[in-house]
Amino acid sequence: MRKLCDYSLVEVQSGSQGYSLHACVHDWTLEALNRAVDPELCLLAFSCVARSVACESEAQPWLRNRRLLPHAVRLEHRRLRALAEQYAQDKPDSGHKIGVLYEGLDKFTRAEQMYQQALAGYKKALGPEHRSTLDAVHDLGNLYLTQGKLPEAKHMSQLALKGKEKTLGPEHMSTLDTVNNLGNIYLHEGKMAKAERMYQRALTGKEKTLGPENPSTIDIINNLGNIYLEQGKMAEAERMYQRALTGYKKALGPEYTSTLDIVNNLGNIYLEQGKIAEAERMYQRALTGIEKRLGPENPSTLDIVNNLGNIYLEQGRMAEAERMYQWALTGYKKVLGPEHTFTLNIINNLGTLYRAQDKLSEAERMYQRALTGYKKALGPEHTLILNTVYNLGNLYLHRGKLAEAGRMYRWALTGYEKMLGREHTLTLTIANSLGELSRKVDR
């Protein structure tokens, strides 16, 4: 390696204990030195990348996975793509792991392709009802939910559930994980009764098998808190979060990240209730603990920093809000990249901050930047896209651009009606905004 460094063909990456090869040098090596692709070496590279993918149980899996990403992408080079796609089917475990790598870094199109190829490989090698096949179906369902493709997510999750119930039994932990995921899908669809039914089933099964104080059981209690918060049932939501907080403290300790996540969720409740001081206290408590445990640039830390920005914006403390948003934006860009949805969420929030400050040109620029990124990462119909479209509608209305405002409102309304139904609160809010705009145009 020293000789390669001496000739500037390879650079030492001082903070990551790794090396980098300039893209031009890499292309030259491919074209000049490797005229005939060696399938065995290609398979070896594919397997090496797959084996190196970080597990979710690691403290900071995204750090290693971000370093792996260019290597995975290189396997899709025009000379290697066909072999890599074939290997994903021939070695479905490896294809599945690379799909996990892509999904964790918001490369959703590539993740979907890998999952599909791995799924085809599992079906061929093991059959449609094998545990590994069903896990791949399960992960595809999760991916579609992240992308906002709710019909596809529901189809995959129902398929996985049916197979797991038959193969593993209705009370197996893997089956209950899929039940929980179906609850998440129904929550996103605004079908609260169905979501609650799924969560209650998962909770009953996990309490029976694992006990009420197991962290996996407590995860479901937290999800029930989320659904009650979404429904505006603040007392029930707070009761669930407090129960989860007590359980996590006992099982994991007061400084564990899951415990502090519940503290953050309690802040969300207090914010919704208008209890700004209590919300800020919860966020600060969560931030102190998570920053100490994970560092100032961990995504969990940055999530709370963003929440503090929201609090300060609500209070009219604009300078402090912008400082929080910029902290979160800088961190997400560094850790997850500029096109990750978490990064784009902060850009959208900066748009809202600038709109509140009457910096309308800057606000529009932020919203458009977020919208472009969301469409690239998620496709045309995700709720994050529709939220930013609605924000643009409000901005155009404020600027007196009534035609553009109407176009944005109709776009958001059509999308929410399709994804969440006509009776969902978000759909009704946008319909009301469109009605008020129509009355203003008629006057």
CATH number for position 416:
1.25.40.10
pLDDT band of residue 166 (cuts 50, 70, 90) is very high
Tell me, what's the pLDDT at 12?
67
- Residue 309 CB partners (closer than 8 Å, separation 6+): 320, 321, 322, 323, 324, 325, 328, 349, 353
User: Lowest-pLDDT range, 54-68, 217-231, 248-262?
Assistant: 54-68
Q: Identify whether residues 75 and 120 lie together within a single domain.
A: yes
**pLDDT value at 288 more than 70:** yes
Q: Let me know: does 126 contact 93? Beta carbons within 8 Å.
A: no
pLDDT band of residue 390 (cuts 50, 70, 90) is very high
Q: Identify whether residues 139 and 169 lie together within a single domain.
A: yes
**pLDDT value at 15 more than 60:** no
Q: Can you give the C-alpha Rg of the chain in angstroms?
A: 24
Which of 109, 126, 143 is the last residue in one of the domains? Answer: 126
**pLDDT value at 16 more than 60:** no
Residue 67 lies in a domain: yes
**pLDDT value at 381 more than 80:** no
Residue 140 has phi, psi (to 5 degrees) of -60, -40
Which of 67, 97, 126 is the last residue in one of the domains? Answer: 126
DSSP labels for 68-119?
A: HHHHHHHTTSTTTHHHHHHHHHHSHHHHHHHHHHHHHTT-HHHHHHHHHHHH
Q: Identify whether residues 137 and 155 lie together within a single domain.
A: yes
Residue 218 lies in a domain: no
Residue 167 lies in a domain: yes
Residue 109 lies in a domain: yes
End-to-end CA distance of the chain: 74
Average pLDDT, the chain: 88
* pTM for this entry: 0.74
Which of 210, 240, 255 is the last residue in one of the domains? Answer: 210
Which comes out higher in pLDDT, residue 284 or 298? 284
Mean pLDDT of 224-252: 92
Position of tokens 């059509």?
A: 414
Q: Identify whether residues 109 and 75 lie together within a single domain.
A: yes
**pLDDT value at 267 more than 70:** yes
Mean pLDDT of 128-155: 91
Residue 429 lies in a domain: yes
**pLDDT value at 37 more than 80:** no
Residue 205 lies in a domain: yes
**188-204 pLDDT, tens per residue?**
877 888 999 999 999 99
Give the separation between CA 219 and CA 208, rounded to whole angstroms: 15
Q: Let me know: does 134 contact 160? Beta carbons within 8 Å.
A: yes
Residue 16 has phi, psi (to 5 degrees) of -115, 0
Q: Identify whether residues 300 and 369 lie together within a single domain.
A: yes
**413-440 pLDDT, tens per residue?**
999 898 778 888 889 999 999 999 988 8
**pLDDT value at 17 more than 60:** no
Give the count of domains, the chain: 5
Determine the structural domain holding residue 59 and report its residue range. Answer: 36-126
